[in-house]
Structures are given as C-alpha cells and as structure tokens.
Amino acid sequence: QQPVQSPQAVILREGEDAVINCSSSKALYSVHWYRQKHGEAPVFLMILLKGGEQKGHDKISASFNEKKQQSSLYLTASQLSYSGTYFCGTEKTSYGKLTFGQGTILTVHP
Amino acid sequence: EAGVVQSPRYKIIEKKQPVAFWCNPISGHNTLYWYLQNLGQGPELLIRYENEEAVDDSQLPKDRFSAERLKGVDSTLKIQPAELGDSAVYLCASSLSTEYNEQFFGPGTRLTVL
C-alpha cells in the first residue's frame, strides 16, 4: 500500500525551512528518502529503521515515529540546490519491497 | 565508482513494436531492480533480482513484459508488443543485500509509444 506524502508541493525562499511528511497505514520496518531533479535519477538521502531514530545529513534531517508509522523530513536553511521532488519509500520488512509515495515538489526561489 | 548505467536514454517506437532496455548495475551489487515511473508519480517496482534469481516479479505484466539477468550482472527488460500506456520512464536500480537496502538508481530510459 502506497505511503501518503504531505504536502504535495512547497514553495520556499532561500534560507527558509520546510517539513515533508510520509505516513503509512501499515507497520513499517524502514523509511527511505530520495530526491529527484527533473529528468534525473532519484538520489538516496537517508534511511531510517524502526526504533524511532533520527538522522541528519548536512542541513537535512529526518525522524521516524514507529508508533504513528510516520516519518518527517526536515530541510533547514534551504538552498536553491534543494529544489526537486522528494519521495519517501517504505518497507514493511527487512529486505522487503520498497513502495514509494507520490512525491512532494519542493521549489526554492532566490 | 561508476554508477548504474542504462541504455538507451530515450526510445520512441510505434505501438505493437518490441523494445528492450539494458542495465549495468554498480559493481558488486547483487540486487537489481526495475522500476516504472509515470509522470508525476513515484517509482513502482516491476521486478527484483537477487543475483540471477527473480525474487519478486509480482508487479510485472507477464503477458507482454519479460526480464532476464544472465550471470547475475547486467539485466535486460523487454516489452513485446508495446502499448500506448507503456509510455513512461523505466528506471534500473541496484543495491547491496544488507538490511539498509540503500538503492542507487540509473538515469532511466524514457519510452514514448506512438
């Protein structure tokens, strides 16, 4: 079952923050986050395993709330290079099938 | 380190014609995936290989789609015959078989069926 992402689109000015959410109705083993720029391949950002951990990567971090089966991606002090479509992918089991959400379009303006 | 290589990058064919896509995964990655991505949507898994074995092909329309991964390295995805609704981007990805399952995607093949 496909995870649900919100919001569908976000428009920011450089330096502003954004949060993208990913929710599932099923118990999850992991949540993956990818960014895809137009006409390019999805690029892996980070993975969170069940256990409620939080991860960070430069000014991009994410959390996974196992009780709510929800993950959030936090982008702070956004840069023009952050523009693209962000996808979450969820696994129900280890080595399981990765099911992607419909994506969130992030646009950062100067 | 070389990334996932796919060819061709673009393909335009008429309906009912056959078409094939090729993928070379990252060296040492024993897991290979084929995804389909429609415009404005996330990737959808078609088939997953562990070495030469297709371990998940439940989403592959087997009446017209076929795939192979000979020798557990390169893979080919074929459509025969193609239909108008097959127009999409076909992505190949690879990963190491670990619990983290970090997938590396190729640039994809954009298929247009006329």
> What pLDDT score was predicted for residue A56?
66
A84 touches chain B (CB under 8 A): no
Mean pLDDT for all residues in chain B: 94
Locus of tokens 């690879």: B94
Going by pLDDT thresholds of 50, 70 and 90, the confidence category of residue A52 is low
Going by pLDDT thresholds of 50, 70 and 90, the confidence category of residue A55 is low
**Between residues 44 and 83 of chain A, which touch chain B (CB distance below 8 Å)?**
44, 47, 49
Mean pLDDT of B30-59: 94
Mean pLDDT of A64-91: 94
Other C-beta atoms closer than 10 Å to the C-beta of A9 total: 10
Other C-beta atoms closer than 10 Å to the C-beta of A47 total: 20
A100 touches chain B (CB under 8 A): yes
A38 touches chain B (CB under 8 A): no
Residue A3 has pLDDT above 70, yes or no: yes
Residue A51 has pLDDT above 80, yes or no: no
| Chains A–B, number of C-beta pairs less than 8 Å apart | 52
